[in-house]
A and B are shown apart, each in its own frame.
Chain A
Amino acid sequence: MGDSLAVLLAELREDEALALVRGSLEGGADPLSLVEELRQGMTEVGRRFEAGEYFLSELIMSAEIFKEAVEIIGPHLQGGSGADKGSIVLGTVKGDIHDIGKNIVSTLLRCEGYEVHDLGVDVEPAAFVRKLEETGARLLALSGLLTLAFDSMKETVAAVAEAGLRERVRVILGGGPVNERVVEYAGADAFGEDAAQAVRLANRYLGA
């Protein structure tokens, strides 16, 4: 018997992992248990990343395999993927179009089991507010690389407060120059130094 799906994913063996998913589904395996195995694989990837054995490129590759696998499993799932850890609204703030970091965080949060509403780049404060109202999400993740993004982050947090949502919604920040001082300037709750930390913050705030 070969390696488990979790192991194949953790070792980034893309072709073998996808072949195993297809084979298992044909053999009548429970699709939800396959998703669960993929999550275990991602947990192992996360562990290796924290331990300094894996780097961001490996995180990106693992998330890609996860995504491909879930796409294959998707049609076999009835009643969702079991991803019910909560909703997160996320985007790069107004005036800024940098999305490398945002996309990585978005993907990893999805792998972690969150429902992520990624609004893209150059997102107006009002669009964030609308999405928070619509989804009832309790976490807002804002990204930006330019210093002008600090002002947009501040504006966005103010708009969330204005809409009366600040009590319910935690706001986390990310992006190259973002630090504790920017958190304070924008009136946010915390920032993530890297993508893994963004996931930890989500888990902390959404109680996973």
Chain B
Amino acid sequence: MDARERIETAIRLGKPDRVPVVPIIDFFAGRYGGITQHEMFFDIEKADAALEKTMRDLGLIDGQNLSYAGLGRIMQAIFPTPPIMPGVRGVPEDGQFQFVEKTVMAPEEYRLIEERGPLRWILDKMKLSTPEMGKPAGFLKVFAGAGRDIMKARRSVKRWRSKGVESMVAYNIVFTPMEYISLFMRSFNDFILDLFRRPEEVKAASRALMKTMQMQGLMMVRSSGLKRVFMGGTRTSASFLSPKQFEEFALPEWQEMCEFWVRRGVTPLLHFDSDWTAFFPYLKNLPRGKCILNLDGSSDIFKAKEVLGDHMCIMGDVPAALLKLGEPEEVEEYCRKLIAEVGADGGFILSSGCTIPVDAKPENVKAMLASVHRHRP
């Protein structure tokens, strides 16, 4: 089996020749490979060379989960509030990428999304947070830069595939409307209060945004040629919402979004940070054998196997803290347990819990990558 077959077999709940290992590795690989985080985000050739060195020294991967390599300009074009980006606007070259929790939308604006049209409304917001986008030249510059990097990313996907490393999603990043509103528009706290104070407006805004979110994703899928999409879920998790709220607000969105992709033969990679354990039973409403549930170490992945093992491929979840503070033997033992228990009967992809941290111990990363060769389900 090659890496791609191994991964696809696991996604369809089958049992590959061994468990595939598909971490989010580029923050770590950038530093390990001797480049700055800025270079990792803005120079995909350098980032790819850094990953090559990392694999040479520490072991091969079957694929890259989300890869941030070369995505700097693309993220600047699709994220309406700019994150803290290494080497941009005074952030140190080797600083840490982080989202900024900021309210850029007044509560009364929920109604505006439909009135103004979702795409125009999003562009209005982007112009406010990135003033240069307000001028045609600046606007063109941002999107031309992103376009160039999309071409480079496509070439990188092909290069890696020829070397036996599968890119899961490249830049195919999609949000459900409520995750998007909470992350980029209203900020976490205000969004939560909105669910109590103006539930119908939130739902209407979600309906208004859905199509735009899907179309943006579809454009990415078509241009990348990769039939998988990365969908981050945090703010609608069981860490924050009650089951009643999840049922009322978020589940219909997740269902609609996943069904949209599955109808088009695209696999949703549900990158679910924070604790989703209490919501696992709801995920049975998503299409069977067509989605990947990627957990970050906060959810109970063993419980996920119990509840969802026959329903969706499970991916995860070597915790960031373990990779930084643990010893190689502990990392190996944790991976062994994942492979034996979550990997039993297939349907499992070994990955990092969210990302391998930039300051992980190299010997721990090595132990993680080696574990899929040393242990069998």
Contact = CB atoms under 8 A, between A and B. Distances in A.
Contacts of B360: 147
B309 interface: no
A178 B325 CA distance: 11
A179 B100 contact: no
A2 B356 CA distance: 55
B298 A176 contact: yes
A150 B274 CA distance: 19
Interface residues of A, number: 30
B242 to A, nearest CB: 4
A99 B101 contact: yes
Given A56-B240, A60-B192, A147 B320 contact: yes
Contact of B189 (A14, A58, A103, A151): A103
Contact of B193 (A54, A64, A150, A177): A64
A58 B100 contact: no
A150 B273 CA distance: 19
Interface string B212-228: 00000000000000000
B358 interface: yes
A95 B240 CA distance: 25
A18 B319 CA distance: 44
Contacts of A97: 84, 98, 100-101
Contacts of B239: 56
A150 B298 CA distance: 17
Most B CB contacts (10 A, CB to CB) among A56, A58, A147, A148 go to A147
B58 interface: no
A100 B274 CA distance: 12
B321 A57 contact: no
Interface string A174-193: 00111101100100000000
Contact of B357 (A60, A61, A147, A178): A147
A96 interface: yes
Interface residues of B, number: 34
A14 B193 CA distance: 11
A54 B320 CA distance: 29
B321 A178 contact: yes
Contacts of B321: 147, 150, 177-179, 181-182
Could you say which of A58, A64, A176, A178 has the most chain B C-beta atoms within 10 Å of its C-beta?
A176
Contacts of B242: 54-55, 57-58
B359 interface: yes
Interface string A156-181: 00000000000000000000111101
Contacts of B324: 147, 150
Given A178-B321, A181-B325, A185-B325, A98 B98 contact: yes
Interface in A39-55: 54-55
A182 B325 contact: yes
A146 interface: yes
B197 interface: yes
B316 interface: no
Interface string B42-58: 00000000000000000
Contacts of A179: 321
A191 to B, nearest CB: 11
Interface string A93-117: 0011111100110000000000000
Contacts of A150: 321, 324-325
Nearest to A58: B242
Given A14-B197, A182-B325, A60 B358 contact: no
Interface in B194-214: 195-197
A176 B98 contact: no
Given A147-B324, A182-B325, A57 B245 contact: yes
A177 B96 contact: no
Contacts of B297: 177
A12 interface: yes
Contacts of B60: none
Contacts of A100: 101, 188-189
A130 to B, nearest CB: 24
A178 B273 CA distance: 15
Contact of B319 (A98, A99, A148, A177): A177
Interface in B283-301: 297-298
Nearest to A146: B96
A12 B323 CA distance: 41
Contacts of A96: 96, 98
B104 interface: no
B241 interface: yes
B352 to A, nearest CB: 11
| Smallest CB-CB A-B distances: 6 pairs | A147-B357, A55-B242, A177-B321, A147-B324, A100-B188, A60-B192
Interface of A: 12, 14, 54-58, 60-61, 64, 95-100, 103-104, 146-148, 150-151, 176-179, 181-182, 185
Given A56-B240, A177-B320, 6 more contacts: A14-B197, A55-B245, A57-B195, A57-B242, A104-B189, A150-B321
19 contacts: A54-B242, A55-B242, A55-B243, A61-B192, A61-B196, A96-B96, A146-B98, A147-B320, A147-B323, A147-B324, A148-B358, A150-B321, A150-B325, A176-B274, A177-B297, A177-B319, A177-B321, A181-B325, A182-B325
